[in-house]
């Protein structure tokens, strides 16, 4: 090596925690000649010690620092901050864990612990010699956000983002925002007026100068990458210039055509020139070209000349940094459930239709009647789980809100003297104030019948509803005026299409998959794309709003933070070798790679640094910042060269989940073989066959790959890949006459830390029982490796 | 009213049901009552509740299941099989229970007489001249000669004959 940097090594005794087991003097003596400076401290993390480190860096002009102490998860950040103050680049600090991994677990084997500490420090020294400076980067991120869907979720997120000062483009496919919530007269559990609480928010959307509201519009195309998406919006032909229209309604008054009103669930009618409901936002009319007869009356009567019957719609282009999906839900088509006769019997309706009937401004003019026959309604049966929790014909999941909204409607009906039965399988009312709401419903005299409705048939002008009355073990036949079905809440076709466009995976149930169902519930699997509300699964308004607030926060965080890019990315290190085969693109679990002009281009925001693409490249063209192949190789070499340990095992471990488990094993003072030498990795998908071969050629007797569970930890998506590779590597080892049992692969969960003792010892004993690997065999492997390199 | 009892026997009994093909989904029953309400037998016989049979089976209540005619009342129409939203398939649970009952020799007298007839005539009833005349009226050929020997050999070797009291 031409240049050898000045390296300083500190060894901490941690009171007696390290020093009582590890012979620190011996370690110091052994490495003295390899580096510029060695020092031992009683407590390295204490203020005086840290000050000394800083002093010495200055006085001795040290360039790279190795600290042998406790787990980096304890004090790395503190040490890092301080050495950076002395002008040391973050890449030039290595922490060697000689407490959790040595003294605490090899108490009964001080000699082994000492040898192991020494080896680990040697490994760090040779690795740090190969380290290159690392710099976090600034990245351009467009400070604008696209919100798709103007229901309560999209409205809430947009308002919050605009308050924060970000430019928001809110895209709604129908003529007005408001979503499902604006169709309800009252909302559970407080029975407050839904329109009274939502309308002011809708008005704020219209007024906010930061919000570009595009109704009657859809997203057509999304390209680009997180932080910098290019979006094409299809503004559908509306026939009315939204800038000119003053919402006077002249057009509607003169329009001769009537069509079913979507807002009224097709019970009521509207004109072809229409506004969905009086409080629509924007307060702008729309021409429904599917029904328009082009008589031209509206255009002739519009005082603002806002109407253009030849409107063809237009495409608008946007550039945004982040996207929020808030496209909500749809209801399952109940004509699929033939036994309920929906669509055939006039007095069988959906819960959403009932919402409209219960509205004082609804299509029946506040009368409680069967819309199609006009017959007065004095008795109602609610059919819960009408298709939900049904693995046979409906949806397997629970739709979560139907128990509650049915109770809401039942209360409103009881207040008007109607007899109500609710047929249920289980009543689900968890959530704050919800059980109380159930009790109130009982108090109001609603009859709860345990027994799913299985059949409905006409009975004169009424219907006969059959179920079991389980509590009494009897069959029940109930003749009533109206049946209300609660259909499954399902994800829409639109959402499926958008998910493809946005490269956001959906789950089996077609709802958007969360990045992590518990720990990151409003982020999607794609960076820069978030989701809120019923698009991630059935839920009530309260949870929807909470998610919408959360999504706004995530966006702010993303747009602010994403500008700083960690220096841990994969990159095309040897451009000339790459033949553009695209294998790296295929394997990347984060979809961070695109192939441009036959070369991979890495999206540095999306790349998690899992390293999965690097071993995949058949041309050996890729490498990783801060964890280069040469660093890994020299670390292995440093650990194994000239060691006096009788048996040596290199354990590559995933650095978040598994490493933590190993620390916990230390904390619990478990005891395992001191042959185990740990090298942390992002995901084990980073490991190449050559790393394993180097280990064997430099003297390892066994190699372990301890991976975290799939989807756990920051590199979770790559953990499946390592499993497949480990299998290949085992086969490959046989080619080198190394028994495949010398390569161990398993997954470790954090709570598994107790098992580690057994895992390590089992592997140690197994390796020990084998005949040793001959020196010339190791030499052959090395020769072979070097040949491959040439 | 018989009490519900839990012990090692009830546990073992439940496990033996679950092992029988078709009955594996027993534990998924969420007691919605669809099976009962759609069952043609339940409409006529108050004690017969497929849902209750599933429930008793879940709790391994062999005593109660075997001590009456209940299991043998199912018409095997498969309505419950078709309608169950959880795919529990009560009809299959009942078949499984019948099998277990049969092994213990707890066989309904009607079934016994049917099986005895089978071993004797090769059919579950004797086919005589009268029956064949009826067939002729419907343009059907006379009933084929039954393989009485084979049937009774099978029934003997499987121990079926003994269980129904034949020899
Ligand atoms: C009958 C019924 C009664 C209910 N009652 C209550 C209650 O009383 N209390 C309560 O807490 N919850 C209630 N809920 C649940 C409540 O409706 C939901 O929690 C809430 O509507 C979810 O809001 P959202 O914004 O996620 O979805 P939505 O309300 O569905 O809004 C989605 C919006 O996105 C738009 N959109 C869809 N696709 C696109 C696209 N491709 N491009 C652009 N825009 C698109 C839609 O037009 C819509 O405006 C009830 C549900 C039902 C079915
Ligand atoms: S919320 Fe109630 S009615 Fe709706 S699917 Fe769940 S259990 Fe059935
Ligand atoms: S796998 Fe390697 S050779 Fe193939 S495109 Fe990627 S970098 Fe180039
Ligand atoms: S595989 Fe991992 S390291 Fe490679 S580009 Fe994808 S995320 Fe980055």
Q: Please state, as a whole number, how many other Cβ atoms lie within 10 Å of the Cβ of residue A598.
A: 10
Residue A628 lies in a domain: no
Helices assigned H by DSSP within A244-371: 250-254, 297-301, 351-358
- The pTM for the full model equals 0.80
Question: Which CATH number among 1.10.40.30, 1.10.3720.10, 1.10.1060.10, 3.40.50.800 corresponds to the domain B8-103?
Answer: 1.10.1060.10
Segment A252-280, tens digit of pLDDT: 999 999 999 999 999 999 999 999 999 99
Q: Do A454 and B52 touch (CB under 8 A)?
A: no
3-class secondary structure per residue, A374-421: CCECCEEEEECCCECECCCCCCCCCCCCHHHHHHHHHHHHHHCCCEEE
pLDDT at A758 over 80: yes
Instruction: Find which of B25, B33, B39, B89 to mutate to test the A interface (most A CBs within 10 Å of its CB).
Output: B33
Considering the domain architecture, whether residues A153 and A282 belong to the same structural domain is answered as yes
Residue A2: which pLDDT band, with cuts at 50, 70 and 90?
Answer: low
Are A483 and A499 in the same domain? no
Check CB contact under 8 Å for B85 and A466. Answer: no
The binding-site residues of ligand 3, defined as CB within 6 angstroms of any ligand atom, are A 572, 578-584, 600, 616-617, 619, 621-622
d(CA A450, CA A448): 7
Query: Could you read off the pLDDT of B80-129 as tens digits, one per residue?
Result: 999 999 999 999 999 999 999 999 989 999 888 999 999 989 998 888 89
Give pLDDT tens digits for A411-467.
999 999 999 999 999 999 999 999 999 999 999 999 999 999 999 999 999 999 999
B31 with A425: Cβ contact below 8 A: yes
Q: Which residue of B has its CA nearest to A452?
A: B32
On the question of pLDDT at B167 being above 80, the answer is no
CATH number at residue A449: 3.50.50.60
Q: How confident is the model at residue A789 (pLDDT cuts 50, 70, 90)?
A: low
- Residues of A whose CB is below 8 A from B31: 425, 450, 470
- Contact in structure between A654 and A684 (CB atoms under 8 Å): yes
Task: Count Cβ–Cβ pairs < 8 Å, chain A vs chain B.
Answer: 54
Of A134, A169, A197, at which residue does a domain stop?
A: A134
CA distance B56 to chain A (A): 14
pLDDT at A541: 98
Average pLDDT value for residue range A557-586: 89
* Whole-number Cα distances in Å, A613 to A603, A608, A720: 13, 11, 13
Please report which confidence band the pLDDT of residue A673 belongs to, taking 50, 70 and 90 as the band edges: very high
CA A219/CA A200 separation, integer angstroms: 26
Q: What is the mean pLDDT of chain A?
A: 95
Strand-strand pairing, A649-654 and A622-624 = unpaired
Same domain membership, residue A294 and residue A241: yes
Round to whole Å and give the CA distance between A753 and A759: 10
pLDDT of residue A1: 46
Per-residue pLDDT band at A734 (split at 50, 70, 90): very high
Domain identity same for A480 and A504: no
Closest to A75 measured CA to CA, from A25, A41, A32:
A41
Whether residue A566 is contained in a domain is answered as: no
- Give mean pLDDT, residues A562-586: 89
Q: How close is the nearest chain A Cα to the Cα of B34, in Å?
A: 6
- The percent of chain B in helix, strand and coil, each rounded to the nearest 5, is 60, 0, 40
Shortest-distance ligand to the CA of residue A600: 3
Q: What is the mean pLDDT of residues A10-19?
A: 96
Domain of A16, in residue numbers: 1-134
Is B85 close to A390, i.e. CB distance below 8 A?
yes
Write the CA distances from B97 to B14, B22, B35, B63, integer angstroms: 10, 11, 17, 12
Mean pLDDT: which of A148-152, A653-657, A717-721, B60-64 is highest?
A: A148-152
Q: For the residues A765-786, what does the mean pLDDT come to?
A: 92
Q: In 10 A of CB A279, how many CB atoms?
A: 16
Task: State whether residue A344 is helix, strand or coil.
Answer: coil
Q: Specify the pLDDT at position A111.
A: 97
CA angle A781, A784, A788 (to 5 degrees): 135
Identify whether A387 is part of a domain.
Answer: yes
A783 vs A415: CA distance, rounded Å: 89
Choose the residue to mutate in A382, A400, A441 for probing ligand 2, maximizing ligand atoms within 8 Å of C-beta: A400
Q: Does one domain contain both A69 and A14? A: yes
The alpha carbon of A176 and the centre of ligand 2 are apart by a number of angstroms equal to 29
Do residues A739 and A698 make contact, with C-beta atoms less than 8 angstroms apart?
Answer: no
Whole-angstrom CA distances from B90 to A279, A365, A689, B45, B56 are: 53, 47, 55, 17, 12
pLDDT at B1 over 60: no
- Residues A177, A91 share a domain: no
Contact A303, A248 (CB under 8 A): yes
Run of H or E including A137: strand A137-138
Percent of chain B scoring above 90 in pLDDT: 73
**Claim to verify: residue A527 and residue A537 sit in the same structural domain:** yes
Report the separation in Å between the CA atom of A180 and the middle of ligand 1, taken as the mean of its atom positions.
Answer: 4
Domain at A70, CATH number: 3.40.50
> What local confidence, expressed as pLDDT, does residue A567 receive?
83
The pLDDT score that the predictor gives to residue A710 is 87
Q: Please report how the helices A629-640 and A110-129 are oriented relative to each other, as an axis angle in degrees rounded to 10.
A: 150
Handedness of CA A59, A64, A70, A72 (dihedral sign): positive
A528 phi, psi to nearest 5 deg: 80, -5
Distance A588 CA to ligand 4 centre (A): 5
Domain boundaries, chain B: 8-103, 109-163
Q: For residue A742, is it within any domain?
A: no
Q: Given the CA of residue A401, which atom of ligand 2 is nearest to it?
A: 1
Which chain A residue has the Cα nearest residue B28?
A391
**One domain, residues A257 and A406:** no
Q: What's A676's DSSP letter?
A: E
Pocket mutation for ligand 2, best pick of A448, A486, A487, A543 (most atoms within 8 Å of C-beta): A486
How confident is the model over A347-395, as pLDDT tens digits?
999 999 999 999 999 999 989 999 999 999 999 999 999 999 999 999 9
- Residue A730 included in any domain: no
What mean pLDDT comes out for the span A114-130?
97
Q: Is residue A3 part of a domain?
A: yes
Domain check: are A335 and A223 in the same one?
A: no
Q: Residue A751: pLDDT band by 50, 70, 90 thresholds?
A: confident
With beta carbons less than 8 A apart as the criterion, state whether A499 and A483 touch.
no
Angstroms from B36 CA to nearest CA on chain A: 7
Whether A227 and A280 have beta carbons less than 8 Å apart is answered as: no
Which tens digits make up the pLDDT trace of B20-38?
999 999 999 999 999 999 9
Average pLDDT of the segment spanning A196-205: 96
| Domain count within chain A | 3
Rounded Cα distance, A215 and A179, in Å: 12
Q: What is the pLDDT of residue B166?
A: 63
Contact of A666 with A614, CB cutoff 8 Å:
no
Omega before residue A189 within 30° of 0, cis: yes
Residue B39 Cα, gap to closest chain A Cα (Å): 11
Q: What is the pLDDT of residue A259?
A: 97
pLDDT in tens, A591-626: 899 999 999 999 888 888 999 999 999 999 999 999
Q: Which residues of B touch A468 (CB under 8 A)?
A: 33, 36-37, 51
Query: Are the C-beta atoms of residues A556 and A324 closer than 8 Å to each other?
Result: no
Output the pLDDT for position A564: 67
For residues A437 and A496, membership in a common domain is answered with no
Radius of gyration of chain A (CA): 34
Considering A134, A157, A186, which residue would you say is the last residue of a domain?
A134
| Domain finish residue from A560, A582, A615 | A560
**3-class secondary-structure state, position A44:** coil
Kindly tell me if the per-residue pLDDT of A405 is higher than 50.
yes
Sheet with strand A482-485: strands edge to edge: A348-350, A482-485, A379-383, A419-424, A447-450
**Ramachandran assignment for A659, one of left (phi > 0), alpha (psi -120 to 50 degrees), beta (any other):** alpha
Residues A230 and A168 both lie in one domain = yes
Whether residues A229 and A271 fall in one domain: yes
Query: Could you tell me if residue A109 is inside a domain?
Result: yes
Residue B163 is predicted with a pLDDT of 85
| All residues at 6 or more sequence positions from B108 whose CB lies less than 8 Å from its CB, including other chains | B69, B71, B72
* Maximum mean pLDDT: which of A500-504, A506-510, A561-565, A673-677: A673-677
What is the structure's pLDDT at A563?
A: 63
Q: For chain A, say whether B119 makes contact (Cβ under 8 Å).
A: no
Q: Is B32 on the interface with A (CB under 8 A)?
A: yes
């Amino acid at each position: 090596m031409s240049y050898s940097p000045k390296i300083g090594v500190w060894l901490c005794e941690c009171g007696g925690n390290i020093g009582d087991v590890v012979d620190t003097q011996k370690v110091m003596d052994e490495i003295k000649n390899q580096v510029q400076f060695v020092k031992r401290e009683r407590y390295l993390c204490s203020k005086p010690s840290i000050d000394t480190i800083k002093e010495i860096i200055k006085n001795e002009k040290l360039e790279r620092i190795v600290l042998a102490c406790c787990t980096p998860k304890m004090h790395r950040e503190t040490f890092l901050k301080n050495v950076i103050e002395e002008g040391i680049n973050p890449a030039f600090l290595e922490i060697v864990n000689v407490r959790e991994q040595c003294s605490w677990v090899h108490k009964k084997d001080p000699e082994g612990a000492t040898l192991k500490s020494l080896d680990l420090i040697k490994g760090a020294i040779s690795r740090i010699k190969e380290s290159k400076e690392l710099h976090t980067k600034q990245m351009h991120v467009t400070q604008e956000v696209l919100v798709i869907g103007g229901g309560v979720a999209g409205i809430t997120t947009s308002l919050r983002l605009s308050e924060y000062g970000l430019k928001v483009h809110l895209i709604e496919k129908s003529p007005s925002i408001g979503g499902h919530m604006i169709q309800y007269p009252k909302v559970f559990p407080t029975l407050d007026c839904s329109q009274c609480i939502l309308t002011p928010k809708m008005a704020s959307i219209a007024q906010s100068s930061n919000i570009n509201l595009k109704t009657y519009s859809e997203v057509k195309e999304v390209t680009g990458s997180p932080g910098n998406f290019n979006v094409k919006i299809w503004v559908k032909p509306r026939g009315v210039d939204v800038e000119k229209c003053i919402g006077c309604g002249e057009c509607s008054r003169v329009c001769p055509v009537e069509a079913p009103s979507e807002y009224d669930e097709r019970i009521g009618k509207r004109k072809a020139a229409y506004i969905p409901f009086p409080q629509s936002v924007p307060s702008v009319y729309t021409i429904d070209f599917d029904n328009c007869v082009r008589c031209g009356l509206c255009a002739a009567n519009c005082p603002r000349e806002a109407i253009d019957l030849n409107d063809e719609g237009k495409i608008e282009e946007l550039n945004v940094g982040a996207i929020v999906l808030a496209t909500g839900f749809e209801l399952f088509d109940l004509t699929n459930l033939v036994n309920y006769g929906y669509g055939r019997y006039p007095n069988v309706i959906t819960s959403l239709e009932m919402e409209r009937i219960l509205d004082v401004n609804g299509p029946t003019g506040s009368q409680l009647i069967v819309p199609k026959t006009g017959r007065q309604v004095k008795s109602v049966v609610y059919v819960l789980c009408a298709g939900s929790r049904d693995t046979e014909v409906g949806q397997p999941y629970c739709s979560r809100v139907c128990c509650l909204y049915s109770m809401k409607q039942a209360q409103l009906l009881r207040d008007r003297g109607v007899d109500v039965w609710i047929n249920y399988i289980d009543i689900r009312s968890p959530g704050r104030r919800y059980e109380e709401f159930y009790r109130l419903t009982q108090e109001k005299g609603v009859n709860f019948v345990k027994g799913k409705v299985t059949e409905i048939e006409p009975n004169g002008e009424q219907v006969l509803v059959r179920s079991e009355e389980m509590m009494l073990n009897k069959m029940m036949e109930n003749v009533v005026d109206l049946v209300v079905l609660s259909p499954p809440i399902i994800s829409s076709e639109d959402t499926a299409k958008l998910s493809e466009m946005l490269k956001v995976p959906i789950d089996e149930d077609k709802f958007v998959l969360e990045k992590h169902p518990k720990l990151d519930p409003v982020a999607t699997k794609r960076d820069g794309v978030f989701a809120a509300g019923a698009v991630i699964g059935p839920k009530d308004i309260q949870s929807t709003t909470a998610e919408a607030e959360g999504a706004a926060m995530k966006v702010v965080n993303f747009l602010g933070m994403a500008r700083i890019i960690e220096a841990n990315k994969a990159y095309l290190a040897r451009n000339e070798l790459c033949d553009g085969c695209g294998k790296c693109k295929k394997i990347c679990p984060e979809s961070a790679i695109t192939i441009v002009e036959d070369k991979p281009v890495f999206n540095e925001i999306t790349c998690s640094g899992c390293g999965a693409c690097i071993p995949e490249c058949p041309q050996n063209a890729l490498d990783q910042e801060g964890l280069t192949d040469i660093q890994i190789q020299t670390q292995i070499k440093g650990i194994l060269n000239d060691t006096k340990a009788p048996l040596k095992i290199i354990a590559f471990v995933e650095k978040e989940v598994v490493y933590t488990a190993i620390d916990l094993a230390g904390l619990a003072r478990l005891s395992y073989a001191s042959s185990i030498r740990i090298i942390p990795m992002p995901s084990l998908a980073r490991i190449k066959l050559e790393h394993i071969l180097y280990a064997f050629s430099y003297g390892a007797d066994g190699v372990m790959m301890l991976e975290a569970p799939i989807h756990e930890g920051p590199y979770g998506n790559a953990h499946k890949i390592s499993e497949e590779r480990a299998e290949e590597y085992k086969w490959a080892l046989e080619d080198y006459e190394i028994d495949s049992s010398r390569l161990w692969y398993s997954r470790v969960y954090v709570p598994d830390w107790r098992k580690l003792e057994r895992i390590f010892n089992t592997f140690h004993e197994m390796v020990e029982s084998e005949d040793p690997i001959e020196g010339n065999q190791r030499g052959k492997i090395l020769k072979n490796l070097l040949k491959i390199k040439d | 009213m018989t009490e519900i009892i839990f012990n090692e026997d009830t546990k073992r009994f439940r496990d033996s049901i679950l092992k029988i093909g078709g009955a594996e989904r027993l534990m998924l029953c969420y007691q919605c009552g669809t099976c009962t309400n759609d069952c043609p037998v339940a409409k006529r016989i108050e004690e017969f509740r497929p849902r209750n049979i599933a429930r008793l089976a879940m709790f391994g209540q062999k005593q109660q299941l075997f001590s009456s005619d209940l299991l043998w009342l199912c018409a095997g129409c498969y309505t419950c099989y078709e309608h169950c939203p959880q795919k529990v398939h009560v009809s299959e649970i009942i078949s499984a229970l019948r099998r277990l009952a049969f092994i213990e020799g707890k066989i309904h007298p009607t079934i016994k007489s049917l099986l005895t007839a089978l071993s004797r005539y090769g059919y579950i009833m004797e086919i005589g001249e009268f029956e064949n005349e009826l067939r002729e009226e419907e343009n059907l050929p006379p009933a084929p000669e039954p393989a009485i020997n084979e049937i009774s050999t099978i029934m003997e070797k499987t121990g079926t004959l003994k269980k129904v009291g034949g020899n």
